[in-house]
Amino acid sequence: MVRAAEDAQKQGKLDDASALIEKGEPLASQLLAVHQPTLAAMEAASDLDQLYGRMLLTSRHFEWARFLFQKNLARWKHWTPESADTEARLKQAEDAIAACDKGMMK
């Protein structure tokens, strides 16, 4: 669903992307409801939040975007074992939060 939503966003079909994101949110919550979600489950939820956050950032909804990016920051900051991918995801969340902060300052 995330890939389909990303494709829709890239094609400028923001309503379609939003609908797919909304459809994916309950699934992401269900994936993360277990005591120790798998890395794949965490990545799927993270990808959904990252995409939705980017869409919100683009539409200048900085506070809501920052909230989603903060969720990703918390996910990857405390994930073990660390890997190059989890560290890259943490950096991506930090950079996205900085972009939100910069937008809110304008």
pLDDT values of the chain reduced to their tens digit, one per residue, 106 residues: 889 999 999 999 989 999 999 998 888 888 888 888 999 999 999 999 999 999 999 999 999 999 999 999 999 999 999 999 999 999 999 999 999 999 999 8
pLDDT at residue 35, rounded to an integer: 83
Which residue's entry shows tokens 């980017």? 54
**For residue 64, what pLDDT is reported?**
95
Q: In the chain, what are the domain boundaries?
A: 2-105
91-100 long-range Cβ contacts below 8 angstroms, 24+ apart: 92/50, 93/50, 93/69, 96/50, 96/53, 96/54, 96/57, 96/65, 96/69, 96/72, 97/66, 97/69, 97/70, 97/73, 99/57, 100/57, 100/62, 100/63, 100/65, 100/66, 100/69
